[in-house]
Each structure stands twice: as structure tokens, then as C-alpha cells.
Amino acid sequence: MQLANKVAIVTGAGSGIGRASAQLFAEEGASVVAVDWNKKSVDETVQMIRSTGHTATACHVDVSKAEDVERMVRTAVQEYGKLNVLFNNAAVQIMAKLVDTTEEMWDRIHSVNLKGFFLGCKFAIPAMIRTGGGSIVNMSSALAFVGDPDLVAYGAAKGGIIAFTKAAAIGYGPNNIRVNCICPGDVNTPLLQDYFDSLPDPAGFRQEVYSKYALRRIAEPRDIAQLALFLASDASSFMTASMVVIDGGLTSKCY
């Protein structure tokens, strides 16, 4: 029970990595506040957690809005008395080359993928200080340090998360708050499946993507959730300002 007696917020908990992490955190003893903009999806996540005898509360939030994020943190403290863990995971992805990226696309991606993390930390950190410390886990990406010409705005936001993570870790380490980030490659989420399904040969392209990985597969959401659990727990008590790559060997080669 790596998170016994801890209270954790997980954003983007309606599907994919967020859902897997909310479930795993609850299995490991945390009282989980599951957060998503999609009320139906996040309610389903909470029902799944409760059906296995664990503790969770749903919170319908747009992480790009300060009043929503403040309410998210307030919900955790009011429901469970404290806040120990924040997993900033919620994100949006819009594919477009640089000159085809509209200002609206850029603003939408950065409002969720970067501003949303800032707001999460802004409101969570004071609550964690009152608790005596805590752990913040930010979801970055392998695209923070390698380029994809079809995901320019997304990659820029994910690169920003690394710099943001380091600054937050240095600033609040004296308050016993650790801040780390995760950099995964492709993950087998509904979002990725939708992308594969949009192509002329989904199965063929999926195998082509798999061939780029040393392990000849992409990550499952639970693979990433296990790392998030480690960083959230006291098992990583001397880790902060770290960028942890979990990409099945994708970025280890030149060609």
C-alpha cells in the first residue's frame, strides 16, 4: 500500500493514463479525486474504483480555468482533509504542421497542457505545505526533446513542462514538496487508437510504429501509471526535479 493514508488528485482521469493511474493509486491506498472535463468519463472512473472497494470522488473540471482548478483542490481538502499528491496529466493534442497551426490551436494546447499544470501547482502547493509536504508528478513527453513536425504546439508545451518542473522543484523543495515529470513515448490509449483508425491501414501503421521501439511494442496505460505511482510515493523520497523517460527504447537510437 504505497499511498496508504494519502490523498491524491489525478487530472485527465476519464480515460487512458489518467484512469489507469487513478485506479492504481486507489488500489495502493490513496483517497483519489479523479478530475476530467468529461463528466461521464470521470464518473465511470470513480464507479470502477468504488466497485473494487476503494475510495474516490469525481470532480468535473476544465484545468485551463483557475476557478475550476481552485475548486478541484478545495474538493480534495474538504472531502479528505488534506492533499499529498497531484498528478498533472490532463492534455489535449491537435495535429498540425507549424504554418498550419492556428492561433486558436496553439492557445488551446498551451492553455491545457502547460497553463493547466501551472494552475494545478499554484493551488495545490499551499495545501501541500499545510500538510507538511507532498509529491507533484507532471506528464511531459518524449516530444519534449525530439521533434514531430505534425505536433509542433504539443511538443513546445511538453518541453515547457520540463523547465517548469525544475523551477517548481527548486522553489518548493525546502517545503518538502517534490516535483518530477514523466516523458513517455506512444501509449495505447483511446486517443492513439482514434489516430490509427483515421489512417488507410490502421493495423499496418500500428506495426510500423511498434517496429521503432526496442521492445517492439508501445506502452500500456498501466505501464505509465506504475511510474507515476513510484514518483508519487515515498519510495522516490530523494527524487525531485527529475525527468524520467519511459519510452521502450524509442529515443535511444539515431536511425
Full 3-state SS string of the chain: CCCCCCEEEEECCCCHHHHHHHHHHHHCCCEEEEEECCHHHHHHHHHHHHHCCCCEEEEECCCCCHHHHHHHHHHHHHHHCCCCEEEECCCCCCCECHHHCCHHHHHHHHHHHCHHHHHHHHHHHHHHHHHCCEEEEEECCHHHCCCCCCEHHHHHHHHHHHHHHHHHHHHHHHHCEEEEEEEECCECCHHHHHHHHCCCCHHHHHHHHHCCCCCCCCECHHHHHHHHHHHHCHHHCCCCCCEEEECCCHHHCCC
Per-residue pLDDT of the chain (255 residues), as tens digits, is: 999 999 999 999 999 999 999 999 999 999 999 999 999 999 999 999 999 999 999 999 999 999 999 999 999 999 999 999 999 999 999 999 999 999 999 999 999 999 999 999 999 999 999 999 999 999 999 999 999 999 999 999 999 999 999 999 999 999 999 999 999 999 999 888 888 888 899 999 999 999 999 999 999 999 999 999 999 999 999 999 999 999 999 999 888
Q: Is 255 a catalytic residue?
A: no
Q: Catalytic residue among 80, 154, 172, 210, which?
A: 154
CA distance 201 to 199: 6
Of 58, 126, 57, 116, which Cα lies nearest the Cα of 88? 116
Rg (the chain; Cα; Å): 17
Cell 518538502 sits at which residue? 176
At residue 94, the pLDDT reads 93
CA distance 221 to 190: 10
11: left (phi over 0), alpha (psi -120 to 50) or beta: beta
Q: Amino acid letter at 18?
A: G
Q: Where are the domains of the chain?
A: 7-184+220-245, 187-218
CATH class of 7-184+220-245: alpha beta
**What's the predicted TM-score (pTM) here?**
0.96
Taken in order 194, 195, 197, 202, the sign of the CA dihedral is negative
Residues 16 and 221: beta-carbon distance below 8 Å: yes
Cell 486507489 sits at which residue? 26
At residue 192, the pLDDT reads 86
